[in-house]
Amino acid sequence: MLDTIRKTLSLSQQRELESFGARVNKFGANFAVCNAADELILLCEGGRFKSSREQLIKLSRQVLEQDGEKSCSDDPGVPIWRFGDANFVLAAVLKSARVSNKGGEVIGTAWVDLGDKSLCPASVPSFDIGGANPAQTDSDYLAEMLGLLVEKFQAETKAEKQIEMIGTELAQTYEELVLLHKLSTNMKVTESDASFLQIACDSLTEIVYVEGIAILLEKTIDDKQQLIVTAGSGLIDIDEQTAAILHSGLMEEINSGKEALLDSEVDSAFKYDWPSNIKNIIAVPLFGKEKTESGFTGKTENGNCIMGLMVAINRIGKQDFDSTDVKLFNSVAGGCAVFIENGRLFKDLKELFIGSLKALTSSIDAKDKYTRGHSERVAFVSRWIAERLSEQEQLDEEQIHMVYLAGLLHDIGKIGTEEAVLRKEGKLTEQEFNRIKQHPSVGAGILHEIKQMRDIVPGVLSHHERVDGKGYPDGLMGDQIPLTGKIVGLADCFDAMTSKRTYRDAMTMEQALAEIEKGLGTQFDEKIGRVFLDSDVKRLWDIIQNGFSEIYRSSDYIEYGAAAVGTLIR
């Protein structure tokens, strides 16, 4: 293996190609990979002969130049190039996953060098079927293997990109949660409107890059109601005329069913008449309670009162503001309205925190109709166990919150698992089960990228470990398994056993408890399992069966989700 491989391929890609090379070597052939820069980055030789590096690099350049020509293709999906009178050298182009209808990015070429088969020793396997030429048969067989390698390589690069994308989206969502939490913690009676709204503007520009942002509120100046800039950041100047256009335009958009005013010259001319320095603009309302006096802002057709607005101009890094920006701006504007209205909407804001995290896990549960709601149930059962355990040993409120969040996010890694595997009826193959077994590591990898979530990573990573060491991914035993992992693992198993799956019916509560009893000391930690079995499981079961309706009516539970997320932000 050449050292330069690490500069071109990921570790998983490297291992996949090395494994394929080892299989090819068993047939007396050599395997090589050249990158798109005509560099030989991997060479696996079986020992029977030496491949010509210079010749492979020369042929690689020729293959890349001819890539896409149908005349070179054995298969319209995976073209295989053959060189030599007896097809002694085979090649295929390695590409990343395809985007839309376009071919994926070219990574390089993969080569199988059969050498001179007349020199092949008897110990090297050959596939002479029905009297066919052995060299030709080996060539066809290895060409098929090479084609399958290319297909698998592209599928795995696609999965890696999806995981990377989910990690990025999760990080972005987390930053938005931090922003909303930051606003909530500054909602103090002693804080002035201007100070709080300035914090909102400054914080928002740390996530959404714009030339300028401002919040306009209704003020009385010289006995006249006007929209006045109360807080702002960056280069933005809203005069009286522009404020009037903003107000009338926003009212028009809201009355037509829109959530915000969006205007730019990207797809067509401006809808409204803006100053020349504005290239694109977004405005969202600050809704307030009904006024008792005649105001400048007035009501929308659905009866909502707009007491002000948030506006930003000239998006940086994008051509225009989009729906994601609309949602974030509306969230922040809503937070500002809550503060100004002295907490009227404060409860809704706190629910947003945990709702955002549940939305992430719901996207995973939705991949399989039989696991819908699984993550939320596991989170609740995990919290139930942690609270009962805290009655026997020191377990503070923050640790209980971490257990709850680990339960909520324990299956986040399944975002990288194919739906066909998750929904398969019947027994999984060994390869399919190995794909499933990767989800704790994938989930831990996603969450580890966000430093504030690293405290819940051990629970996510270890929730399939067993105290007898027969679990995965690391085969931990006994006290090697983190407490959170033991709790979430038990909660996960309880919900899995009592839920209907594609391959079996659900167990009754009594059957599930009997299985847990049998698994104490082997699958489950004996102390934690006993705490769960000795608790009022029947009441827990009734709460779950009733869809959490009992606890959702409790204001304490409404506060709990936001408090749990709040422990992540220090």
Quickly state the pLDDT bin for 128 (edges 50, 70, 90): very low
Check residue 117 and give its pLDDT: 54
Quickly state the pLDDT bin for 221 (edges 50, 70, 90): confident
Q: What secondary structure does DSSP assign to 384-449, as a single string?
A: HHHHHHTTTS---HHHHHHHHHHHHTTTGGGGGS-HHHHT--SPPPHHHHHHHHTHHHHHHHHHHT
Per-residue pLDDT tens over the stretch 501-540: 766 788 999 999 999 999 999 999 999 999 999 999 999 9
Check residue 226 and give its pLDDT: 80
Check residue 6 and give its pLDDT: 45
Domain segments of the chain as ranges: 3-157, 188-342, 351-566
Task: Tell me the CATH number for domain 188-342.
Answer: 3.30.450.40
Check residue 238 and give its pLDDT: 87
Check residue 132 and give its pLDDT: 47
CATH topology identical between 3-157 and 188-342: yes
Residue 423 has pLDDT above 80, yes or no: no
Nearest Cα neighbor of 459 from 519, 378, 541 is 378
Is residue 78 within 8 Å of 147, Cβ to Cβ?
yes
Across residues 57-84, what is the average pLDDT?
72
Average predicted confidence (pLDDT) for the chain: 80
Is residue 418 within 8 Å of 368, Cβ to Cβ?
no
Burial readout 383-399 (b: 16 or more C-beta within 10 A, e: otherwise): bbbbbbbbeeeebeeeb
What percent of the chain shows pLDDT beyond 70? Answer: 78
Check residue 559 and give its pLDDT: 54
- pTM (predicted TM-score): 0.46
What percent of the chain shows pLDDT beyond 90? Answer: 29
Check residue 324 and give its pLDDT: 85
Check residue 218 and give its pLDDT: 82
As a whole number of angstroms, the distance between CA 389 and CA 22 comes to 51
Quickly state the pLDDT bin for 186 (edges 50, 70, 90): low
At the topology level, CATH places domain 3-157 in Beta-Lactamase (3.30.450)
Residue 12 has pLDDT above 70, yes or no: yes
Nearest Cα neighbor of 406 from 363, 444, 435 is 444
Per-residue pLDDT tens over the stretch 361-402: 777 767 666 567 888 899 999 999 999 999 998 888 889 999
Q: Which residue has the higher pLDDT, 439 or 155?
A: 439
Quickly state the pLDDT bin for 414 (edges 50, 70, 90): confident
Across residues 139-147, what is the average pLDDT?
87
Across residues 451-476, what is the average pLDDT?
92
Q: Kindly report which listed range (259-263, 373-377, 456-460) carries the lowest average pLDDT score.
A: 373-377
Residue 96 has pLDDT above 80, yes or no: no
For 351-566, which CATH superfamily applies?
Hypothetical protein af1432 (1.10.3210.10)
The three state secondary structure string of 23-65 is HHHCCCCEEEEEECCCCEEEEECCCCCCCCHHHHHHHHHHHHH
